[in-house]
Amino acid sequence: MKGALSVVMLLAAAGAAGGQAPNSSFPTLRTAPPTATAVFQGGVPSGDAAGEPLALTMADAITRALEHNVGLLTSEDGLDRARGAWGNIRAGLWPEVSGSVTESRQTINLDAYGFPRPPGVPAVVGPFNTFDARLSLSTVLDFQSHDKLRAEAHNVTAARYSVKTAREIVISVAGNTYVLALAAANRVEAVNAQVATAEALLAQVMDMKQGGLVARIDVLRAEVQLATERQRATAARNESEKVKLRLAYIIGLPLGQPFMLTDPFPIATAPDPSFEEALERAFRARPDYLAALERVAAAEAARKAVADEQMPSVRINANYGTLGLTIADAHPTFAAIGGLSVPLFNSGRTGARLLQADAELRTRRTEAESLKAAIYYDLRTAYLDVEASSEQLRVASRARELAAQQLLQARDRFAAGVASNIDVVQAQEAVAASSEQYITALYNYDVAKGLITLNMGAVDDSPYRSSGRRVH
């Protein structure tokens, strides 16, 4: 990749894993390219675990995922299979040349071959030697093979685009999981702050109880609130550790390797292009759409190959060498045979295969048109989400500030004896709710901004390397 990926692109990844955030208030997001399947949710562990925790940035996580994620490695294998199929057909267009050297010593029963034998001539003749050294050439010239080669060439190109699509999905899954881990860590910090506040309030209430300023019910209420906050802290820590385990699996960390997240929770601030510009870019750059167009071209070439079964084909066989009883008395010999094959009747097999090829071509065209429409709707949805999530983030930020002020004033009123700690408990709940809403709104805003970039197909397009292989 080109250095560290931009925040916007990383957060584009955050929205594209198709998963759900660890808190139910996070929405399930629409994705583009296609939602990551289970194969992209795992990686191949590499190396041995170190005792010291690994400092892991988002760029580091994505780089490791691009090297070890199972989905991308599988996609690369699919590209190799497509290349192999193309190479196999291309080899059939070249002449086959072989060489052979044989020497034999034999006897022949003339009666077994039906040779008339004059009186006195023995039935078995020999033994005698035969020496033959020869080069042979065989080739077939037809239209069908060239069309099949073009079809496989389009399949190879489609496979390359599929690798790029897989690369985007891997970036999406790794980036999304990293951001989810950051969100979970932020929840842990927020809840821990609430625990500290609840502990301080309990200590304050107990002091006031000893001074006879409050009733026992206020102490009980503060103890219940502290227990509630501690329960939330336990759940938040557990969720944070589970998300980190998921991230470690996706990016192929060594088993048991401890690590810590070093990036702060980012906020995407880059301006977005207009919807029309983004849509035009998507039709030009989305690798899944380009792969769909290549599969249409492959189906067209395959259909033409079937139609060309009714065209004549030419086969040429030739050989040249030396033949004799021994090497010393061998003489040059050759043979050249050319044949023309013209299909006349094949019991309707060509018509049946044309029917299949036409159906395949219609399917590929339908897929491409449907994907083109999906790109439009995905982009339109992303722009709507940016507008909505921007407003949600603004409101959540203000709500968090007001909740903090509410808690401060409630504590002052309680300390002054003009209010019970019911107001304080309610203010604590308001702070907890506003903190959760702020984290959710920040996540949604980042994701919405990133989805615009991802839907345009604007993932870093530098040459991709993984496991020693490169997409050409």
> Per-residue pLDDT tens for 281-335?
999 888 999 999 999 999 999 998 888 878 888 888 888 989 888 888 888 998 8
Average pLDDT over all residues of the chain: 82
- Residue 24: what pLDDT? 36
- Whether the per-residue pLDDT at 28 is higher than 70: the answer is no
Domain ranges of the chain: 7-464
Helix/strand/coil for 35: coil
In angstroms, the CA 362 to CA 273 distance is 34
pLDDT of residue 269: 65
Which pTM does this prediction carry?
A: 0.75
**Residues 128-157: what's their mean pLDDT?**
86
Identify which of 101-110, 156-165, 198-207, 307-316 has the greatest average pLDDT. Answer: 156-165
Quick check: 6 pLDDT over 60?
A: no
Distance, CA of 290 to CA of 282 (rounded, Å)? 10
Confidence of residue 35 (pLDDT cuts 50, 70, 90): very low
Regarding predicted confidence, which is higher, 373 or 472? 373
Residue 266 has pLDDT above 50, yes or no: yes
Query: pLDDT per residue over 174-192, tens digit each?
Result: 888 888 898 889 889 888 9
pLDDT at 469: 39
Which tens digit of pLDDT belongs to each residue from 374-405? 999 999 998 999 889 889 989 998 998 998 89
73 alpha-carbon distance from chain centroid? 9
Choose between 213 and 407: higher pLDDT.
407
Instruction: Report the interhelical angle of 349-416 vs 287-307 (nearest 10°).
Output: 170
DSSP letters, 294-334, are HHHHHHHHHHHHHHGGGS-EEEEEEEEEEEESSSTT-EEEE
Q: Measured at the alpha carbon of residue 47, what is the angle toward residues 42 and 53, in degrees to the nearest 5?
A: 90
pLDDT at position 294: 95
| Average of per-residue pLDDT across 166-173 | 85
Q: Please, are residues 289 and 35 in contact by the beta-carbon 8 Å criterion?
A: no
Within its chain, how far is the Cα of 329 from the centroid?
67
Reduced to 3 states, what is the DSSP secondary structure of residue 25?
Answer: coil
Average pLDDT over residues 429-436: 87
**Structure-model confidence comparison of residues 11 and 239, the more confident one:** 239
Check whether 14 has a pLDDT greater than 70. Answer: no
CA atoms of 283 and 446, how far apart (whole Å)? 24
Give whole-number Cα distances, 419 to 232, 409, 411, 423, in Å: 26, 10, 9, 7
Q: CA torsion 180→8→33→440, rounded to 10°?
A: 30
Give the angle 186-191-195 at the CA atoms, nearest 5°.
Answer: 150
| Structural class in CATH, domain 7-464 | mainly alpha
